[in-house]
Amino acid sequence: MKVVIVGGGAGGISTASNIRKLNKEIEITVITRDDKVAYSPCAIPYVLSGTIKSFDDIVMRTPEDYKNKNIDVIVEAEVTAVDADKKTLTYEKGGKEISMDWDKLVLATGGNPFVPPMQGVDLEGVFRIRNINDGIKVKEAMKEAESAIVTGAGLIGIEIAYALKKQGLKVILSEMLPQIVPRSLDKDMSDILVKYLEQEGIQVVLGKPITKLIGDGKVEKACFGDEEIYDADMVIMATGVRAELELAQMAGCEIGRWAIMVNDRMETSVEDVYALGDCVESKDLILGSNTISQLGTTAVRQSKTLARTICDKKSKFNPVLNSMVSKVGKLEFGAVGYTTSFAQQNRIRPVVQKVEALTRARYYPNAKPMDIKVICDGNGTIIGCQIIAEERVAERIDTMTLAITEGLTCFDLSNMEFAYAPPVSMVTDPLILAVEEVSKKFN
């Protein structure tokens, strides 16, 4: 059997490796337009900030390494056509057009940065960050730049803004909505982050979209409306990611509201065509509706399911909660499940509590403040959690992911046993404090 995978990012390359772990015979080819595979885009901001020394450090394997696993990786090749009836595809490499047949086709084509249409986005000095080469270009441009505007204050935007600031640039982080990280955090939680970013010297501009970029060949200024104009030697557009759907459309795959429709075995609507990663829709665990989960963790988990599907083994990809965590400077922030406003938009009346706790026992040196917000539905079932602190955020987000996945209520969690020692927690864990407080709202 011959499996051809289009895309050598987290989804594609992990699928190849996972198939190989299950089956030594299947012929596997990965075709990707990039010149590198098996690197972590998630690490790009930390190379830009100088925390990780070089882009070479984030490339974990080369095409040669995959050859040793009997996986053929074709780099700098663009798949331009797919015929799902004839089970063929065409790719272009080095000016040549090459055809290839397949028994099973995997579309791991990821996404492209979404750039709102506006004057000046094609000027020199305006960047999108999707892959390692984008990162390299930004690092190069930073050497000459004194000021930067990062627009779009989701995870990537915030991480990049902090990285540029750390490298000594004057940075504005702009967001058209009235808050940062709008998908994962409530406004009051995001305000804690804004305060920290401002303390670090980043100017945060909220509730104003950039309307145009101005420059003579190279970007010089960004305008917010007609009046507010800021200088910028470089502009980073971190305004979202849109699924890359062209090949899926060519193959006749059903496309949903945002991306390719797949079932829980990662099968598309076309026989023997599969898809995963940033180019597919996932099921939302709480509502059961379709959602988009453009996370490296999701792509890697899906690759395990898909490898089992292709190897004819029992497989199932579970619905997602989009749990996330990030770290800027000394502050970690994470979230899982619904925000208050997302719950309201979906006709859930949220019962919400925010508490302030500590990351260690009150008397233990260097105990840090921890802000936790828990969101329940009208029955007390936990549907969301947001945490900001200088340490120990990720493990608590993971605990809450488990709690939500298991359908636990705040009452269930209040009675749970948590490990404790003064250097690592409070005798009553901050999560317990939060769920005890929200439980009181049901009495």
Ligand X SMILES: Cc1cc2nc3c(=O)[nH]c(=O)nc-3n(C[C@H](O)[C@H](O)[C@H](O)COP(=O)(O)OP(=O)(O)OC[C@H]3O[C@@H](n4cnc5c(N)ncnc54)[C@H](O)[C@@H]3O)c2cc1C
Nearer to ligand X, 78 or 103 (CB): 78
Task: Work out how close the CB of 170 gets to ligand X at its nearest, in angstroms, rounded to a whole number.
Answer: 21
Nearer to ligand X, 294 or 414 (CB): 294
Q: In what order do the strands lie in the sheet with 382-389?
A: 324-328, 331-337, 382-389, 369-376, 351-358
Q: Which residues pair with 177 in a beta bridge?
A: none
Task: Work out how close the CB of 256 gets to ligand X at its nearest, in angstroms, rounded to a whole number.
Answer: 16
Task: Work out how close the CB of 13 gets to ligand X at its nearest, in angstroms, rounded to a whole number.
Answer: 8
Return the structure tokens found at 144.
């000459």
Active site residue 42: yes
Query: Which range, of 6-14, 227-235, 307-315, 352-360, touches ligand X by CB under 6 A?
Result: 6-14
Q: What is the DSSP string of 113-154?
A: E-----BTTTSBTEEE--SHHHHHHHHHHHTT-SEEEEE--S
Q: What part of residues 154-183 is at the interface with ligand X (CB under 6 A)?
A: 156
- Catalytically annotated residue among 42, 223, 279, 385: 42
Binding to ligand X by CB under 6 A, coded x per residue (else -) over 282-311, reads: ------------xxxx-x------------
Task: Work out how close the CB of 42 gets to ligand X at its nearest, in angstroms, rounded to a whole number.
Answer: 3
Task: Work out how close the CB of 224 gets to ligand X at its nearest, in angstroms, rounded to a whole number.
Answer: 24
User: Residues touching ligand X: how many (CB under 6 A)?
Assistant: 32
Task: Report CA-CA distances (Å) from 266 to 107, 205, 296, 339, 394.
Answer: 10, 40, 16, 28, 28
Nearer to ligand X, 13 or 223 (CB): 13
Q: Are 351 and 427 in contact (CB under 8 A)?
A: no
Q: Does residue 11 belong to the site contacting ligand X (CB under 6 A)?
A: yes
**Helix (H) or strand (E) run with residue 250 in it:** helix 246-251
From candidates 1, 22, 42, 229, binder to ligand X by CB under 6 A: 42
Nearer to ligand X, 91 or 224 (CB): 91
Q: Does residue 10 belong to the site contacting ligand X (CB under 6 A)?
A: yes
Q: What is the DSSP string of 187-222?
A: HHHHHHHHHHHHHTT-EEEES----EEEEESEEEEE
Query: Which range, of 2-10, 198-206, 265-273, 356-364, touches ligand X by CB under 6 A?
Result: 2-10
Distance separating alpha carbons of residues 201 and 178, to the nearest angstrom: 20
Q: Does residue 322 belong to the site contacting ligand X (CB under 6 A)?
A: no
Query: Which range, of 39-47, 52-60, 139-147, 434-442, touches ligand X by CB under 6 A?
Result: 39-47
Burial of 390 (0-12, 13-18, 19+ CB in 10 A): middle
- b/e 157-188 (16+ beta carbons within 10 angstroms → b): bbbbbbbbbbbebbbbbbbbbebbbbebbbbe
Nearer to ligand X, 323 or 353 (CB): 323
Distance separating alpha carbons of residues 135 and 354, to the nearest angstrom: 37
Binding to ligand X by CB under 6 A, coded x per residue (else -) over 197-236, reads: ----------------------------------------
Under DSSP, is residue 356 helix (H, G, I), strand (E, B) or coil? strand
Task: Work out how close the CB of 380 gets to ligand X at its nearest, in angstroms, rounded to a whole number.
Answer: 30
Task: Report CA-CA distances (Å) from 344 to 350, 384, 397.
Answer: 7, 12, 22
- What are the counts of helices (DSSP H) followed by strands (DSSP E) for the chain? 12, 25
Task: Report CA-CA distances (Å) from 381 to 218, 219, 340.
Answer: 53, 50, 14
Q: Does residue 78 belong to the site contacting ligand X (CB under 6 A)?
A: yes
Return the structure tokens found at 385.
């959690």
Binding to ligand X by CB under 6 A, coded x per residue (else -) over 99-128, reads: ---------xxx------------------
Task: Work out how close the CB of 421 gets to ligand X at its nearest, in angstroms, rounded to a whole number.
Answer: 29
Q: Does residue 36 belong to the site contacting ligand X (CB under 6 A)?
A: no
346, 350, 414, 403: which is closest to 376 by C-alpha? 350
From candidates 31, 171, 180, 185, binder to ligand X by CB under 6 A: 31
Q: Which residues contact 17 (CB under 8 A, 6 or more apart)?
A: 66, 69, 71, 303
Q: In what order do the strands lie in the sheet with 77-83?
A: 77-83, 88-93, 96-101
Task: Work out how close the CB of 238 gets to ligand X at its nearest, in angstroms, rounded to a whole number.
Answer: 8
Nearer to ligand X, 73 or 189 (CB): 73
From candidates 3, 5, 8, 351, binder to ligand X by CB under 6 A: 8
> Contact residues for ligand X (CB under 6 A)?
6-12, 31-34, 41-42, 44-45, 78-79, 108-110, 129-130, 156, 244, 247, 277-278, 294-297, 299
As annotated, the active-site residues are: 42
